[in-house]
Amino acid sequence: MSATRKLSHGLRFALDLGPLILFFGVLTATKNIFAATAVFMAGVAVSLSVGFMRERRLSPMPAITAIIVFVFGGLTLYLHNDVFIKIKPTIIYLIFAAILAGGLMTGRTFIKYLFEHAFQLDETGWRSLTWRWTIFFLVMAIANEIVWRNFSAEAWAGYKLFGALPATFLYAIAQTPLVLKHKIEQDEATAD
């Protein structure tokens, strides 16, 4: 039995991005969204398996995303209807927004569980960060709907890889001033 190991940032990035790159590559090469969907689903399964074998646990966001990929990808293939795979990002964004907003309404900041290993914030910081990501996910859901409904499947796949993904990274980086403003130093965090 191998010991539990934390995934390196590079491996986590490759596991998260790999299936999307495969999807885009197959769709671009074959112009067949159904073949691309099958490859995407296989890539997600491999990614999830490698992550589980290394960490001996499933991280919540990749697990939720994988379930939605399998459901909507399966519907795409079974019904031979590409709408299901195209609305998958919208559904994922809306679920994440609903979880974050629902947590705030019940006095919990679920985003804290995802990021507390990276940094500690005061409660105002966690609430602000949660609201910001909730709004971001709603905007991304709307953007996905606009793109898939008005452009080709190849353009939509390109948007996901070269638009939505960089937008998410840039948005995360743009939160740095908020994080720095509300950051609790390690001594202060352990004193509580």
Contact 126, 112 (CB under 8 A): yes
12/33 same-domain check: yes
Residue 11, C-beta contacts closer than 8 angstroms, at least 6 positions apart: 50, 54
181/117 same-domain check: yes
Identify the domain containing residue 134 by its residue range.
82-192
89/176 same-domain check: yes
**pLDDT 10s digits, 108-130:** 998 888 787 778 899 999 999 99
Mean pLDDT across 128-157: 97
- Rounded CA gap, 92 and 64, in Å? 8
For the chain, the domain total comes to 2
Residue 119, C-beta contacts closer than 8 angstroms, at least 6 positions apart: 179, 183
Per-residue confidence (pLDDT) for residue 4, from 0 to 100: 57
pTM of the model: 0.82
8 secondary structure, DSSP code: P
102/151 same-domain check: yes
**pLDDT 10s digits, 50-83:** 988 888 888 777 888 899 999 999 999 999 999 9
pLDDT band at 1 (very low <50, low <70, confident <90, very high): very low
- Rounded CA gap, 37 and 23, in Å? 6
38/87 same-domain check: no
Contact 63, 74 (CB under 8 A): no
128/148 same-domain check: yes
Count Cβ neighbours within 10 Å for each residue of 43-62 and write b for 16 or more, e otherwise.
bbeebbeebeebeeeebeeb
Per-residue confidence (pLDDT) for residue 103, from 0 to 100: 94
Q: φ and ψ at 154, to 5 degrees?
A: -65, -40
Contact 9, 24 (CB under 8 A): no
Which of the residue ranges 12-21, 92-101, 119-128 would you say has the lowest mean pLDDT? Answer: 12-21
pLDDT band at 19 (very low <50, low <70, confident <90, very high): very high
